[in-house]
Amino acid sequence: MFTVLFPTLGTAVALPLALYYVLRRQGVAQWQALMLSSIPPVIQAVAGAVRHRRARFFDLLVVVLLLVSAVTSLVSGDPRVLLLKDAALPAVLGTWIVGTLLAARPFAFQFGRQLRAGPAEELAEQRWRQEPEFRRALRSLTLLWGAAELLDAVLSVVEAVALPVDVVPVIGRFQSPGILGLVVIAGVRHSRRFRERHGAPLFGLTAATAEGAPGRRQGTGRRQ
């Protein structure tokens, strides 16, 4: 799960943070330093779009938010507008995650697809249709992840408005990964408890696991 969620931590956290304080040390204005330090994630988003030959929604969101906040900050002269950009990302992400509870498959189930292969995906679909406890567990994790992102957004807004501008970047760069890390740990623990109780994992089903799962051997998708 950490491999899936933290593939670009250096570009998203360390590099922008270091760049901001280097620029501030050189006497660059706050709003300019904030805007320039936001460029590495944008470059990463564009590079990802070129590499995969398609633009993902949140990559486009990063670029649009930077452009809008940069123009607004330039007009108003207030660097806090750029700080609020960092609250918009988790707000949109959290709203989308919670919204998937109304979809055919919630976010936690969709996330698990990245960790499953072959017959494992077929088994997961079968268990989703037949096992209420499987659906309930994935929905509760989806709600947890969505609520954590919305909490991150609220904290970011409060920090952007109330704290000194030069303090907010260092707090924000560690706050978001910290909250996400806690959610991942909670998700792993929840998955382990589910496996111990029901004999099957919530995530990471491999083909071998699928072939050996009780539901697949019995042909019902339900633990006997």
> Using 50, 70 and 90 to split pLDDT, how confident is the model at 219?
very low
Query: Rounded mean pLDDT of the chain?
Result: 75
Torsion angle of alpha carbons 59, 61, 62, 67, nearest 10°? 130
> Using 50, 70 and 90 to split pLDDT, how confident is the model at 155?
very high
d(CA 141, CA 146): 9
> Using 50, 70 and 90 to split pLDDT, how confident is the model at 76?
low
**Segment 91-110 mean pLDDT:** 88
**Segment 40-44 mean pLDDT:** 74
Distance from the Cα of residue 146 to its chain's centroid: 9
User: Which segment, 30-39, 50-59, 73-82, 189-198, is predicted with the most confidence on average?
Assistant: 189-198
Percent of the chain with pLDDT over 70: 70
Helix (DSSP H) and strand (DSSP E) numbers for the chain: 13, 0
d(CA 65, CA 62): 5
Mapping DSSP to helix (H, G, I), strand (E, B) and coil, where does residue 224 land?
coil
Check whether 70 has a pLDDT greater than 70: no
Residue 14: its pLDDT value, please? Answer: 67
Least confident range of 5-19, 132-146, 148-162: 5-19
Q: Taking the CA of residue 82 as centre, how many other CA atoms within 13 Å lie in the half-sphere pointing to its CB? A: 27
**Segment 142-153 mean pLDDT:** 92
CB 38 within 8 A of CB 82: yes
> Using 50, 70 and 90 to split pLDDT, how confident is the model at 210?
very low
**Segment 127-147 mean pLDDT:** 88
Residue 117: its pLDDT value, please? Answer: 67
Percent of the chain with pLDDT over 90: 9
pTM (2 d.p.) = 0.69
Query: Which residue bears the tokens 């936001």?
Result: 38
Give 76 or 35, the one with higher predicted confidence. Answer: 35
Residue 214: its pLDDT value, please? Answer: 46
